[in-house]
Amino acid sequence: MSRRNRYSVPEYVAGIVKNDRQILSRAVTLVESTLPEDQRLAEELVEGVLSFTGNSLRIGVSGVPGVGKSTFIDRFGQLLIERGYRVAVLTVDPSSEAGKGSILGDKTRMEQLSTSPNAFIRPSPSSGILGGVSAKTRECSLLCEAAGYNIILIETIGVGQSETAVKGMVDFFLLLALAGAGDELQGIKKGIMEMADLIVINKADGENQKAVERAKGQLVEALHFFPKKENGWITEVSTCSSLMGVGMESIWNTIESFEEKMKINGFFYKNRALQRVHWMKEQIHLLLEVGFYSDKKMSKEIAQKKSLVQTGGKSALAAARELVEKYLYLNSIKE
C-alpha cells in the first residue's frame, strides 16, 4: 500500500467505528498487505479496534464447488438485513499457483446483497492457505465487527483441505451439500460432517426435491452414529433452495437456537477464548518462519542444505533440524 493511501492508526480506527466504508476497505487492504511496514501498522490497527469488537456472530459457510455458496449467501444475507442485521461477507477465492492471482468473482455473484447499504462484501485471495481461508480472515472479521457489522459470514473455497481452519475462527459452521445423481451425497466427508453445526442440502427445487429429501434422510440416519459434541449440540440437517429463497428462515432459526444454547451453557465464550489463543499460536509460527527466512546469516546455509536435499545427499528431516539449530544458535549469540 502506498504511503499516500495510508492513514494514521487513530484515523483508521475513527473511520472504521463510524462505518466509513472507504476507510474500512483501505484498512482491510492494509491488513492483507505483505509489506513489513504495513504489517506493523496493521498490528497496531487491530489492537486499536479490539475494544469495539466481540458483538457479532461469526458464521462459516463451506461446501464443495458448485454447491451454490455465493447464491446461498446472497439470499441468506438479504433475510438477515430484512431482520435488522448488518452483514459483512468475507469471501475467499482460490489463488493461482502459477500466477499467484485470484479470480475474486464472488462479489459479482451476490447481485442483490452487494447493492445493500447494510452489507459489506470483501473478496480476498487464499494465497495458498489451507482450509479455504485467507491468511488475514481473522483480522478482517475484527475490522468488520468494529464497523458495526453484527453478522460476519465467511465463505470458503470449498471442502477438501483443512476445514478446521474455518471452524477455528467462527461461532457456527454451516456446511452446504448437494444431493447426488442417485441416492448418494456428493463430495461430503465424515470429518467435515463432524465439524458442521448444520448441514444444509441446497437446490431443493424442481425435479431435484425428491433426491434432496432422500439425501436428508440418509444424513440424519448417519449422524446418529457420530460421537456427541463437547458443546452438547446435535448437528441438524435442513434443506433449502437458494435459487427460490426457500428454507432460509428455518436455517436462521436453527442458528439463533444454537447461539442461545451456547451462551447459556457457556461454550460460546469458551470457544471464543480458545480461538484467540490458537490465533496467537498461529502468529508465533508465522513470525518465526518469517524471521528464519529473512535472516541474512541463514540464506547461505539454507541454500546449501536445499542443494543437498535436492541431490539426495541429506534427508529433509536432518537438513531441517540442522537449519533450525543453527538459527537458534545465531539468535542466542545476539542475546
199 lies in the same domain as 231: yes
37 lies in the same domain as 146: no
Choose the final residue of a domain: 243, 265, 287. Answer: 265
Query: 302 in a domain, yes or no?
Result: yes
30 lies in the same domain as 81: no
Q: What's the grid cell of residue 135?
A: 491468511
Q: What pTM was computed for the model? A: 0.87
22 lies in the same domain as 69: no
Please state, in angstroms and rounded to a whole number, the distance separating the CA atoms of residues 203 and 214: 13
* The pLDDT of residue 32: 87
Query: 272 in a domain, yes or no?
Result: no
Q: How far separated are the first and last CA of the chain, in Å rounded?
A: 34
CATH number at residue 134: 3.40.50.300
For the chain, the domain total comes to 3
* The pLDDT of residue 228: 86
15 lies in the same domain as 163: no
- From 194, 196, 169, select the one nearest 63 (Cα to Cα): 196
Series of mean pLDDT values for 10-residue runs along the chain (335 residues): 73 96 94 87 96 95 87 96 96 51 53 92 63 69 97 78 74 90 55 88 90 90 87 95 94 98 97 94 89 92 96 96 94 72
* The pLDDT of residue 239: 96
* The pLDDT of residue 325: 95
Please state, in angstroms and rounded to a whole number, the distance separating the CA atoms of residues 11 and 101: 31
What range does the domain containing 282 cover?
277-334
- DSSP annotation of 208 reads G
Looking up cell 475490522 gives: 143
Instruction: Decide the pairing of beta strands 119-125 and 151-155.
Output: unpaired
Choose the final residue of a domain: 224, 245, 265. Answer: 265
187 lies in the same domain as 39: no
On whether the CB atoms of residues 156 and 163 are closer than 8 A, the answer is yes
326 lies in the same domain as 216: no
211 lies in the same domain as 120: yes
19 lies in the same domain as 138: no
228 lies in the same domain as 326: no
Query: 161 in a domain, yes or no?
Result: yes
Query: 213 in a domain, yes or no?
Result: yes
Query: 182 in a domain, yes or no?
Result: yes
Instruction: Decide the pairing of beta strands 87-93 and 172-179.
Output: unpaired
* The pLDDT of residue 26: 95
Query: 271 in a domain, yes or no?
Result: no
1 lies in the same domain as 122: no
227 lies in the same domain as 206: yes
What DSSP letter does each residue of 214-276 carry, written as one string? HHHHHHHHHHTTSPPPTT-PPPEEEE-BTTTTBSHHHHHHHHHHHHHHHHHHTHHHHHHHHHH
Choose the final residue of a domain: 212, 240, 265. Answer: 265
Please state, in angstroms and rounded to a whole number, the distance separating the CA atoms of residues 255 and 172: 7
Q: How far is CA 273 from CA 132, 209, 247, 266, in A?
A: 23, 41, 32, 11
* The pLDDT of residue 93: 59
Give the residues across from 82 on adjacent strands. Answer: none
CATH number at residue 16: 1.20.5
* The pLDDT of residue 91: 84
Burial of 22 (0-12, 13-18, 19+ CB in 10 A): exposed
Query: 232 in a domain, yes or no?
Result: yes
CA 292 vs. chain centroid, Å, equals 27
